[in-house]
Structure 1
Amino acid sequence: MTSLFRIGQVLKGRASQYTITKEIQDTVWFAKNHLQELVVIKSVQGHPRVENEQNVLKRFQYRTPYLRPLVDVIEEPSAPVTIALRHLQDNLLHASVAKTLNRGELKYVLRCVLEALNTLHEDGFVHTDFKPDNVFVNLQEGKIRFSDVQLGDLGGCYPTDSKWATSGTVVGAPIWTSPEILMELPWNTAADIWSFGTMLISLIYGGDFNLFRPKGLKRDDEEYVVGVVQEQFKFFGPFPAKIAEIADPDTVHSILLIMENIPKAKTTPFCRTTEREVTKRDNIFVSKMMKLDWRDRPTAKELLKDEWWDDDAE
């Protein structure tokens, strides 16, 4: 695939002009403005993601400091849609792999991103791709090493009444994604709450840990998504009988097969995790959001009021 932009190319925006300095991936570049400040350039040919991210940020970025903001729109070249975003030093995945978050960092980061989700959810928008590598951070010295935390990559952020949500379009990275999305059921803001809980578990353990990564399967294996759902069931099952109210008969049949193939003796309920691994306080908080029926999950607003945020007793 030929890159849209070359190193040294100048892009003219409404607020400044930008010189491309580095290609990060097919659709993302670093560039410097006229003050030599670094920005992130995003553009993709023949797909609405970048235009959608621009529209979502225009709607929400002034309501919260916890979304990575749009800083400019490129006018030359005029096509495809190209945007400039704030540059932050790192993403949360890299930072947590480098060093597991301490207690203060964990709560600070999670409150920031939950505030961002709450802002989106208030208007019925779903991020759909919530994971540590889409949380961007600036670093500092001190007890809490993060000076800024912002949720980014809003190209797949859509309202709950969009065709993507109502038709059950599969979105996001499977190991971070809610069971209803993986089973191609209609989804809503509760899907982000599952992803938030998944990220909390990963940050507690540290490194590149993900509870739902299927063992012995690669991302492009045909059985990979089913493997993720099986892991979700092993730790947070069983599916409640009332799931039949929101799932079609084929999906109910698939759920029954999963439950038959994994007898109770082979499940590993997360609530039984030892306190040496996960404190009781953390386990209770995690268990509130990791419900296989999305109707049982709390909202972002409710989670922000949870007693988990109070000072730790330990």
Structure 2
Amino acid sequence: MSLLRVGQVLRGKLGQYIVTKQIQETVWFAKNQIKDTVVVKGVEDHPRVANERDVLKRFQNRTPCLRPLIDEIHDPSRPEIIVLRHLDDHLLNSSMTKPLSRAELKYVAKHVLEALNVLHENGYVHTDVKPDNVFVNYQEGEIRFSQVQLGDLGSTCPSSSEIATQGIPIGAPIWTSPEVIMETPWNTASDIWSFGSMLISLIYGGNFNLFRPRTVPYGHEEYNLEVLKQQFRYFGPFPIKYAEIIGPETAAAIAYIMHEIPRAQLTPFSCTTEREVSRADKEFICKIMMMDWRDRPTAKQLLKDDWFQEER
């Protein structure tokens, strides 16, 4: 049974909302008192909605690049229900409709990095950076986006949390970093890998993902391993120094992958033809997609990269 029903009236601290449509299991559209559409989130017996509320209360006033909390519902008082800003679309739909131009790609990248920088400088990891969690408003002109905001912060957590330090995997495997897939400790650098994965997807357009396994379906017991193989194939090998920060089980997994995909069978992303990906875009992405998380630049460093200054 759905938590909310179409036509239900929700009363918040700042206004009143009428539910108009269910979008996902835990997400609805609603209208406020002046008939503007808003997004309503609620879920029984799970902390993610309260967590998103708390993270947004802390950070949304520091950047316009996070989709903001508008209100909190107090009638009904349980479970936690929040009201978020509605935007026209998300980037997965946008890129499936039409691949992003290079100007649009940089516009999106800058806004997502600015959101990540605010979180990362305070030790928080978004954990789920992907095209359908980046929301946009449209406009006419060279760049079709008037606004870009990173959303869905339900699983955002400090890098010092047990979830991160114990290497508990969060997020969709095809967007997550090698260290997350291998269930080793992860941190803000894992978001940077996901950001890079998203950029690759947006360059190609459609529902493309470089790391999607071609041999097993989602949910298969070897799905994550196949994702890791794809990551290794395009951005490997792991540097020798990676052994400093991994245990025997992880080392064994890496040795298995190296045996399965010898160096001669690697297909480096850097060798992608310029007809597919421009040289400048390849160089920028290859700075990001480092198998050892310690080698990845920070969001702040990426914002200063020459890639953003390059002539369009």
Same fold flag (TM > 0.5): yes
The whole-number CA distance in structure 2 between the counterparts of 1:310 and 1:209 is 27
Aligned residue for 2:80? 81
Distance in 2 of aligned mates of 1:217 and 1:63: 42
For the residue of structure 2 that corresponds to 1:227, the secondary structure is helix
CA deviation profile, 1:164-207 (whole Å, cap 9, x unmatched)? 10110100011000000000001000000001111111111111
Shift of 1:279: 1.3
Q: Report the equivalent of 2:182.
A: 183
Give the AA of the match of 2:260. N
Equivalent residue runs for 1:5-24 within 5 Å: 5-24=4-23
2:238 corresponds in structure 1 to: 239
> Please, which moves more after superposition, 187-196 or 238-247?
238-247
TM-score, normalised relative to structure 2: 0.99
Which residue does 2:167 correspond to in 1?
Answer: 168
Compute the displacement of 1:111 (Å): 0.3
| Runs of 5+ consecutive residues of structure 2 not aligned to the other structure | none
Q: Which position in structure 2 is the counterpart of 1:193?
A: 192
5+ residue gaps, structure 1, are none
**Stretch deviating more after TM superposition (271-280 or 108-117):** 271-280
Corresponding position: 1:119 with 2:118: yes
Range with bigger deviation, 292-301 or 275-284: 275-284
Matched, 1:277 2:276: yes
The runs of at least 4 aligned residues of structure 1 exceeding 3 Å deviation read none
| 1:33 maps to 2:21 | no
Task: Find the residue that maps to 1:287 and give its secondary structure.
Answer: helix
Cα drift, residue 265 of structure 1: 2.4
2:261 matched residue in structure 1: 262
CA distance in 1, matches of 2:300, 2:216: 36
2:223, 2:172 → 1: CA distance? 11
Q: What is the alpha-carbon root mean square deviation over aligned residues? A: 0.8
DSSP 3-state at the match of 1:62: helix
Question: Which has the larger displacement, 270-279 or 14-23?
Answer: 270-279
Deviates further, 144-153 or 239-248 = 239-248
Q: Distance in 2 between matches of 1:223 and 1:90?
A: 33
Distance in 1, matches of 2:169 and 2:102, equals 34
* SS in structure 2 at match of 1:114: helix
d(CA) in 2 for partners of 1:287, 1:248: 26
Find the counterpart in structure 2 of residue 300 from structure 1. Answer: 299
Which amino acid is 2:124 matched to?
A: F
Q: Deviations over 1:117-149 (max 9, x none)?
A: 001001010000000000000111111110110
SS for the counterpart of 2:107 is helix
Letter in 1 for 2:110: R
The residue type paired with residue 24 of structure 1 is: I
SS at match of 2:74: strand
Moved more, 235-244 or 221-230: 235-244
1:44-83 correspondence runs (5 A) = 44-83=43-82
| Number of residues of Structure 1 aligned to a counterpart in Structure 2 | 312
Q: Secondary structure at the match of 1:73?
A: strand
TM-score (norm 1): 0.98
User: Quick one: distance in 1 between partners of 2:311 and 2:173?
Assistant: 32
1:270-301 CA distances to partner (integer Å, 9 max, x unpaired)? 11111111111111111111011000000000
Give the match for residue 132 of structure 1: 131
Shift of 1:216: 2.4
Question: Aligned equivalents of 1:280 and 1:161: distance in 2?
Answer: 37
SS at structure 2 position matched to 1:199 = helix
Once the 2 structures are TM-superposed, how far is the Cα of residue 311 of structure 1 from its aligned partner? 2.9
Alpha-carbon distance in 2 for matches of 1:155, 1:165: 15
Percent identity of paired positions between Structure 1 and Structure 2: 62
Alpha-carbon distance in structure 1 between the residues aligned to 2:219 and 2:266: 25
1:149 aligns with 2:148: yes
Amino acid paired to 1:30:
F
Moved more, 181-190 or 242-251: 242-251
What amino acid is aligned across from residue 304 of structure 1 in structure 2? L
